[in-house]
Amino acid sequence: MNQTNTQGLDGVIAGETAIASVGKGHGLKYRGYDIYDLAKGASYEEVAYLLHFGKLPYKVNYQFYISTLKDKRLICEGLRHILEQIPATAHPMDVLKTGISFLGCVEPEKSDFSNQNECIERILAALPAILMYWYHYANHGHQISLDSNQKTIAAYFLEKLHRCEPNLEHVEALNSSLILYAEHEFNASTFASRVTASTLSDIYSAITTGIGVLGGPLHGGANEAAMDLITSYNTPEEAKEGIVKKLEANDKIMGFGHRVYKKCDPRNVVIKEIAKALSVGHKEEKLYYISEAIEKTMWDEKKLFPNLDFYSASAYHYMGIPTSFFTPIFVISRVAGWAAHVKEQRANNRLIRPNASYTGPEEKSFTPLSERGE
């Protein structure tokens, strides 16, 4: 294979996985289950269990799993103190990196990984609490209580964000979104987490790696950029004209196209339906129609389709979620996939260390510093 084709490892098979199949027949399946069925009929916790243990839970397993995650939400005084030192100007992604890294210091994984499942459950449960404790303290000076009777991560997140009983429609919408984002094979952040795991590093390091990689605008940060784009227009007509001008200027439009999918992103069907339903009667209902105008223009002009990130932006906005939280929600969801891949990597591990094709200068003769002139 020549050098051009290997840039970005595009199309290169880098390993095997039994966790998810992406792009086969333009679909997405988690351990054989179609993403549409899961997004419409399951809870995020069921999907996390499926990814980690290879099967959907029975009722008794599910109730125990829900109870376990609920019991592991609270964060210690030391972590709360650390979060209180982080300014409101920090990006929430950096807050999550800091929180998980600190958890690894005070609740470490054993060197033989015998408590990996417990650590994974702790991370799943604690991420929303970390984000919300910092957010309310940094922005409002409140040391909020992290206790809650909410059973699911979606309901807990929305309750702590808005500090009231969450809207049921919003809970269901966020739950579906978490499922859609939970896993996607060897994407950049997942592969990076597997590389970390392949060194036999701990689970907290692997997850922190994933968070760092996900923060880039070409990966998880695309949903924030999509929101900035959508809200920059006042009408669908203005959006159409604006997108055409951006394309003429060769500007990159975030939230469109995909490295794996060539005709459509199957997840977009679900998130677009959610965004449309949430828009009805909302004071900013126009954002949905502006989004549709952008989608149509991108297809007419470039034959590019929206990926999951594009309509996630307006869907989250309709739930009252700050734009800076869009990528952290991606983390709260994708941590299920990252952890599943860490477990899979460890089960049949070999250090991930690819070679590179050297393109630098040929052999040169060394000249001592004193002889190199002024």
Indicate which residues carry an active-site annotation: 219, 258, 309
Q: Yes or no: say if 258 and 20 are a contact pair by the CB < 8 Å rule.
A: no
Residue 143: closest CA among 123, 171, 163, 124? 163
What strand order describes the sheet that includes 33-34? 20-22, 28-30, 33-34
Euclidean distance between CA atoms 357 and 361, whole angstroms: 13
Whole-number Å distance between alpha carbons of 95 and 289 = 34
Separation CA 58–CA 289 (nearest Å): 41
Tokens of 350: 């070999």
Residue linked to tokens 């269990």: 49
- Residue pair 185/22 in contact by the 8 Å Cβ criterion: yes
In 3D, which of 322, 39, 335 has the Cα closest to residue 214? Answer: 335
Q: What does DSSP say about strands 33-34 and 28-30: parallel, antiparallel, or unpaired?
A: antiparallel
